Structure 1
Amino acid sequence: MKTMENGHPSDNCTAENLPLYNFYASVMIMEFTLGLPLNLSVLYLFIFKLKFWKSKTNNIFLFNLVLADVLLLICLPVKAYHFLNGNRRSTEGATCKAMLFMLFLNRGASIAFLTVISVDRYFNVVHPGKKNFAKAFKRSPHISFLIWLLLLPLTIPTMLKSFECCNSYGREDDTLVEDVTDTLREVVFFTQILIPFFVLVYCTVCIVNRLKKKTVGDSTKLRRAVFLVTSVMLVFSFCFLPCTIARMVLLIVRVENLPGAEAIVVQVFDGLMVLSYMDCLVDPIVYCLSSTKFKSLYLTTYCRCLLSENVEITESTISKGNNSSPKRNNNILLHSM
């Protein structure tokens, strides 16, 4: 195996196990092929059918979640191309930094909007009588714009040096500036996942407990609501936690100077990062299509032949729903719990 002078395999950007990385590339191509049309079709509905900017619900947050997934999916063919050519990343510095910027910005946006949606749902279900900051902003794009703006500086540490390889963390000859840069990059990576995870755990537990105690209401809607909040946790745990754990192990074996173990962990980490991109494929299904009304709108628009007469809804019904009052319109998507 090729290594650099310092003996750290993750400093070598060559994909040594080419068949394995060809498989990773195939998975990313599959994610792109399936995920892009699905996300674009949902994006079309938000813009031309639901007119999300006029919505009184959290459609603006959902629109930005889908938008972040689309922008992330666009990066996957480039990354797959590098894997197929035996490289873990682009050999050109500008292309590598541009890819890191897009991947981490849009991945972070996807996690951020997922968390904001869950927090908003938490207040609406657990504390329906209390006003909260999410309600104050969800009727305008201001909070969405703020999230994108705050994520921009968080991508800077990942662009100072290549994150996926040529990572100098753990070298004995690092300068103070290099140590600070590497540490900041790792802090950003872990906090971007761990903090939202704990927020999601808290919100999900509270929502499930609240819904279990509710004895009045449609039991079918209650079961659907429990399914929605628990699927948030399942998707997040499946897509993001494995690569976080692998990153922890990679840092440990690197600091302990175990090149043999590191060579294996690097390949596992790259594979689990590919798995994390699966989030773009399942987000529209879990957070959008699980709503009965949105699912009916989706099928009416794209798969009319699959609908029976008593299930089909017309476009005029949707447009009326968009112009109705907040109290009557607050069930169109995730508030249909």
Structure 2
Amino acid sequence: MDVSGNSTLMTNVTPAPDHCNTTNPVTYKILSWLMIGEFALGLPLNLTVLYIFLFRFKFWKTNSIFLFNIVVADFLLVVCLPAKAYHFQHGVRRSSNRFVCQTMLFMLFLNRGASIAFLTAMSLDRYFNVVHLGRGNFIRVMKKSPQISILIWLLLLPLTIPTMLKTFECCNSHGRMFETDPQDITDTFREVVFFTQILIPFFILIYCTVRIVNRLKKKTVGDKTKLKRAVCLVISVILVFSVCFLPCTLARMALLFVRLKEWQEVENVVVQVYDGFMVLSYIDCLLDPLVYCFCYSGFKDAYLDTFCPAVIRRKLSIDFFTGTLTTTATSGTRITSPVITPVTLPMIDKN
């Protein structure tokens, strides 16, 4: 009787079992190869983009400090992918080493938060430049100051540090402990941050897009190129959000729901879906260069001129926004200034 009573008592106080091991090894091996592919494509892409911003655009002179921070965030995200793929290959969702696990989570969530913050800031900048042209644009002032970018990174730290306190992916995440657990408030705060840092910027982007499109429709005279580029920018950012961030957010909602309902068999499936969408979210390091093309009309031309052969440059010599044919230099002469001559390439939009 005593043994039975003690066993019953232990059952009541022990948290629900958590499975950090993969329930379907085949699924996670496929996800690991997808991450290896993202790493193989993302590392050279982000290194070359980093080179463009450092040596061609000189980002500190061309008001592209926010974009440079997105490149840095993407690069730091890419270098974390091999470790994550290694764990999936060996049938675990996270490292068994507590320090490695928490460091990986911190890096992944910090860099994703930085990408979202700077992408949203760039979209707001275009919104103010188009819809509230002539009024004070505080974001334009902010993006010229490196100190503001540093401040944004520092403000992200308090939102990311909770991932260092308790692991997030599987063990002791929200819904695993009883409500009386004093650490439950940490999990709740972390879940709130996870959802708000995606949903709030997404609604801001929708609002900016609607206002910019309406402004474009009302413009009956004058050059519409800048307005069209602004529309393309915010739509490209919404595309990044829709493909990379919203699916994992919805999957996280479903995971918390079935976990709190204690539907263990359903949870085993939803966990795989959630992990799959998280792997998909890492593809933003491949999609962000699309945003750079809309922020700076000369980015595509500078990139092609630096890294693509002359034959490819000739085939891609159609203007990115107007669809008109432009002539490009094929002699291999490097463009050392972000201001490109009108004869060869379009001027860089410094707004």
TM-score by length of 2: 0.85
Give the alignment partner of residue 15 of structure 1, picking from 22, 26, 31: 22
8 Å Cα contact 2:230-2:294 kept in structure 1 = no
AA partner of residue 165 (structure 1): C
1:118-157 alignment to 2 at 5 Å? 118-157=123-162
Give the alignment partner of residue 321 of structure 1, picking from 331, 339, 350: 339
Three-state SS of the structure 2 residue aligned to 1:100 is: helix
Q: For 2:283 and 2:313, how far apart are their aligned partners in 1?
A: 28
1:73-92 alignment to 2 at 5 Å? 73-92=78-97
Q: For 2:297 and 2:329, how far apart are their aligned partners in 1?
A: 11
Three-state SS of the structure 2 residue aligned to 1:72 is: helix
Answer yes or no: is 1:206 the counterpart of 2:222: no
Compare 175-184 and 83-92 and name the one that shifted more.
175-184
**Which residue number corresponds to residue 327 of structure 1?**
none
Three-state SS of the structure 2 residue aligned to 1:54 is: coil
AA partner of residue 327 (structure 2): N
- For the structure 1 residues 117 and 315, does the alpha-carbon distance in structure 2 shift closer, same or farther, using more than 3 Å as the test? farther
Compare 74-83 and 281-290 and name the one that shifted more.
281-290
1:45-60 alignment to 2 at 5 Å? 45-55=52-62, 57=63, 59-60=64-65
CA-atom RMSD in angstroms: 2.3
Three-state SS of the structure 1 residue aligned to 2:337 is: helix
Q: For 2:52 and 2:195, how far apart are their aligned partners in 1?
A: 34
Structure 2 segments unaligned to the other structure (5+ residues): 1-13, 315-325, 341-345
**Which residue number corresponds to residue 261 of structure 1?**
266
- For the structure 1 residues 315 and 132, does the alpha-carbon distance in structure 2 shift closer, same or farther, using more than 3 Å as the test? farther
Compare 177-186 and 312-321 and name the one that shifted more.
312-321
- For the structure 1 residues 333 and 101, does the alpha-carbon distance in structure 2 shift closer, same or farther, using more than 3 Å as the test? farther
Q: CA deviation at 1:176?
A: 4.3
Answer yes or no: is 1:332 the counterpart of 2:334: no
Residues matched between the structures, number = 320
**Which residue number corresponds to residue 313 of structure 2?**
307
Q: CA deviation at 1:222?
A: 4.5
1:140-289 alignment to 2 at 5 Å? 140-171=145-176, 173-219=178-224, 222-288=227-293
AA partner of residue 236 (structure 1): F
- For the structure 1 residues 278 and 233, does the alpha-carbon distance in structure 2 shift closer, same or farther, using more than 3 Å as the test? same
8 Å Cα contact 1:294-1:333 kept in structure 2 = no
- For the structure 1 residues 262 and 283, does the alpha-carbon distance in structure 2 shift closer, same or farther, using more than 3 Å as the test? same
- After superposition, the C-alpha distances for 1:87-116 in whole angstroms (9 at most, x for unaligned) are 101010000011011101111101110011
- How high is the sequence identity, in percent, across the aligned residues? 61
Q: CA deviation at 1:223?
A: 4.0
Q: CA deviation at 1:173?
A: 3.1
**Which residue number corresponds to residue 323 of structure 2?**
none
Between structure 1 and structure 2, the one with the greater Rg is 2
Q: CA deviation at 1:27?
A: 0.8
**Which residue number corresponds to residue 326 of structure 1?**
none
Give the alignment partner of residue 40 of structure 1, picking from 47, 56, 63: 47
TM-score by length of 1: 0.88
Three-state SS of the structure 2 residue aligned to 1:232 is: helix
Three-state SS of the structure 1 residue aligned to 2:60 is: helix
Q: Whose helix proportion is higher, 1 or 2? A: 1
8 Å Cα contact 2:59-2:65 kept in structure 1 = yes
Structure 1 segments unaligned to the other structure (5+ residues): 323-329
Compare 44-53 and 209-218 and name the one that shifted more.
209-218
- For the structure 1 residues 222 and 304, does the alpha-carbon distance in structure 2 shift closer, same or farther, using more than 3 Å as the test? farther
